[in-house]
Amino acid sequence: MPMSNNKDKPNKATTPYIGRFAPSPSGRLHFGSLISAVASFCDARAHLGKWLVRIEDLDPPREEAGASDAIIQSLEAHGFTWDDKIVYQSQRLDAYQDAFDQLSDSIYPCNCIRQRISSLGGRYDGHCRDQTPPNGSTIAWRVNTCQHPNLRADSETFTDIFLGQQQLNLDVAGDFIIKRKDTLFSYQLAVVVDDLFQGITHIIRGQDLLDSSYWQRYLYLLLSSNTAVSGTQLPVYGHTPLALGSDLHKLSKQTKAAPINNDLAVSNITAALRFLGHPPPKTLLMTLAKGHKKSLQQCTEILAWASDNWDRALIPKKSSVAPALADA
Asked whether the beta carbons of 241 and 323 are under 8 A apart, the reply is no
pLDDT tens digits for 183-219?
Answer: 999 999 999 999 999 999 999 999 999 989 888 988 9
**Amino acid (one-letter) located at 144:** N
What CA–CA distance (Å, rounded) separates 173 from 117?
A: 13
What values do phi and psi take at 261, rounded to 5? -95, 115
Q: Report the mean per-residue pLDDT for the chain.
A: 87
- Using pLDDT thresholds of 50, 70 and 90, give the confidence band for residue 6: very low
- Using pLDDT thresholds of 50, 70 and 90, give the confidence band for residue 291: confident
pLDDT reported for residue 15: 66
What CA–CA distance (Å, rounded) separates 232 from 197?
A: 11
The helix/strand/coil state of 204 is strand
- Using pLDDT thresholds of 50, 70 and 90, give the confidence band for residue 168: confident
Q: Is the pLDDT of residue 11 over 60?
A: no
Q: Is the pLDDT of residue 326 over 70?
A: no
Q: Which residue has the higher pLDDT, 12 or 93?
A: 93
What CA–CA distance (Å, rounded) separates 273 from 303?
A: 9
- Using pLDDT thresholds of 50, 70 and 90, give the confidence band for residue 2: low
pLDDT reported for residue 135: 79
Q: How far apart are the first and last CA of the chain?
A: 29
Beta strands in the chain (DSSP E): 18-21, 50-55, 87-88, 107-110, 140-143, 157-160, 164-167, 176-179, 202-206, 236-240, 243-244, 320-321
Q: Whole-model pTM?
A: 0.89
